[in-house]
Amino acid sequence: MQFGIFTVSDITEDPTTGHTPSEAERIRATLQIAKHAEEVGLDVFALGEHHNPPFWSSSPTTTLAYIAGQTERILLSTATTLITTNDPVKIAEDYAMLQHVSGGRADLILGRGNTGPVYPWFGKDIRQGLNLAVENYALLHRLWREDVVDWQGQFRTPLQGFTSTPRPLDGVPPFVWHGSIRTPEIAEQAAYYGDGFFANNIFWPKEHFQRLVTLYRERFAHYGHGTPEQAIVGLGGQVYMHRSSQEAVREFRPYFDNAPVYGNGPSLEDFTEMTPLTVGSPQQVIDRYAAMREHFGDYQRQMFLIDHAGLPLGAVLEQLDILGGEVVPVLRKELAKDRPEGVADAPTHERLVAAAGGPREARPRPNRGDNVTGGSPYRDSAPLAGAAFGAAATRQGV
Q: Quote the pLDDT of residue 114.
A: 67
Q: CB within 8 A of 250, min separation 6: which ones? A: none
264: left (phi over 0), alpha (psi -120 to 50) or beta: left
- Residue 151's domain comprises 2-395
Q: What is the chain's percent helix, strand, coil content, to nearest 5?
A: 45, 15, 40
pLDDT per residue as tens digits for the range 139-150:
999 999 999 999
111: left (phi over 0), alpha (psi -120 to 50) or beta: beta
pLDDT per residue as tens digits for the range 229-240:
999 999 999 999
Instruction: List phi, psi (to 5°) of 355.
Output: -65, -25
CA distance 246 to 267: 16
Q: CB within 8 A of 290, min separation 6: which ones? A: 330, 331, 334, 335
DSSP 327-390: IHHHHHHHHHTT--TTSPPPP-HHHHHHHTTS-----PPPP-S-TTT--S---B--SS-HHHHH
Q: Quote the pLDDT of residue 6.
A: 96
Number of domains in the chain: 1
296, burial (CB in 10 Å: exposed 0-12, middle 13-18, buried 19+): buried
Strands 75-78, 81-82: parallel, antiparallel or unpaired by DSSP? unpaired
pTM of the prediction? 0.89
**Residue of 211, 235, 383 lying closest to 303 (CA atoms):** 235
Q: Quote the pLDDT of residue 380.
A: 42
The parts of the chain modelled with pLDDT lower than 50 are 372-398
Query: Amino acid identity, residue 111?
Result: G
Cis omega (within 30 of 0) on the bond before 329?
A: no
Instruction: List phi, psi (to 5°) of 380.
Output: -65, 130
CA distance 65 to 95: 10
375, burial (CB in 10 Å: exposed 0-12, middle 13-18, buried 19+): exposed
CA distance 359 to 171: 6
DSSP 129-180: HHHHHHHHHHHHHHHHH-SSEEEB-SSS--EEEE--SSPPGGG-PPEEEEE-
CA distance 49 to 8: 8
User: For the domain that residue 192 is a member of, what is the CATH number?
Assistant: 3.20.20.30
Query: CB count, 10 Å around CB of 363?
Result: 8
**∠ CA 335-237-9, rounded to 5°:** 135
Count of CA atoms in the C-beta half-sphere (13 A) of 161: 12
Q: Quote the pLDDT of residue 348.
A: 96
**Residue of 179, 324, 183 lying closest to 241 (CA atoms):** 324
Q: Quote the pLDDT of residue 382.
A: 43
Query: CB count, 10 Å around CB of 154?
Result: 10
DSSP 9-28: -B----TTT-----HHHHHH
Q: CB within 8 A of 328, min separation 6: which ones? A: 3, 41, 42
Q: Is-contact 55 48, C-beta < 8 A?
A: yes
Q: Quote the pLDDT of residue 390.
A: 47
Q: CB within 8 A of 49, min separation 6: which ones? A: 57, 58, 60, 78, 79, 80, 81, 82, 113
DSSP 262-289: TTTSS-HHHHHHHSS-EEE-HHHHHHHH
